[in-house]
A = this chain, B = another copy of it.
Amino acid sequence: MSVTDEYLNNNEGFAGSFTGPLSLAPARHMAVVTCMDARMNIFAILGLHEGDAHVIRNAGGVVTDDTIRSLAISQRLLGTRQIMVIHHTDCGMLTFTDDVFKREIEEETGLRPWWAPESFPDLEDDVRQSIRRIEVNPFLPCTADVRGFVFDVATGRLTEVK
């Protein structure tokens, strides 16, 4: 059985005890921006309930134009007002540089990516960078309550970045 089919099989069990639809707009008016990392079960880490908060995830949990697109829709159409930005220890984004990653792809494919890979050398600095990108963005109406954190994959604990 493929991994996808195994997950579909798991979903049969999930649907069997599913308790029905919730509202589209997040009940707690929260949007979480975090990394795609496989170890981060955000619902468990934050004690989220289904329906509470938007969850936006990409490589690094960095704020790109696509993150801004998602946050603009989240705030303007679905009423979120607060943002948590969460990076984590042992992140893959700490292990390479944009220049090398782009050069390797160009050497293999003949095409240089037109997007920045968004690697970063320092976790806390990049949390601050992500928050700053949100704060100065002209398309987001609610930037007063944005807080940043590092999740420790060894302890499960969040530490706020000031």
Interface residues of A in 52-67 (CB under 8 A from B): 52-59, 64-67
Contact check, A21 vs B55: say whether CB atoms are below 8 A apart.
no
Contact check, A39 vs B65: say whether CB atoms are below 8 A apart.
no
Q: What is the copy number of this chain in the assembly?
A: 2
Hey, which chain B residues are within 8 Å of A40, CB to CB? 50, 55
Contact check, B38 vs A50: say whether CB atoms are below 8 A apart.
yes
A24 at the interface (CB under 8 A from B): yes
Mark A72-110 against chain B: 1 for CB-CB distance below 8 A, else 0: 111011100010100000101101100001001100010
Contact check, B11 vs A47: say whether CB atoms are below 8 A apart.
yes
Contact check, B15 vs A155: say whether CB atoms are below 8 A apart.
yes
Give A11 to B96 CA distance when docked, in angstroms: 30
Between A11, A29, A52, A105, the greatest number of chain B beta carbons within 10 A of the residue's beta carbon is seen for A11
Q: Select A10's contact among B47, B76, B105, B138, beta carbons within 8 Å.
A: B47
Q: How far is the CB of A88 from chain B (nearest CB, A)?
A: 10
Contact check, B44 vs A14: say whether CB atoms are below 8 A apart.
yes
Q: Can you report 23 A-B residue pairs in the complex whose CB atoms are below 8 A from each other?
A: A4-B30, A4-B145, A7-B46, A14-B44, A15-B158, A20-B154, A21-B90, A22-B38, A24-B90, A31-B36, A39-B50, A56-B59, A58-B67, A58-B70, A59-B70, A59-B74, A64-B69, A65-B114, A65-B115, A69-B113, A69-B117, A109-B138, A111-B139
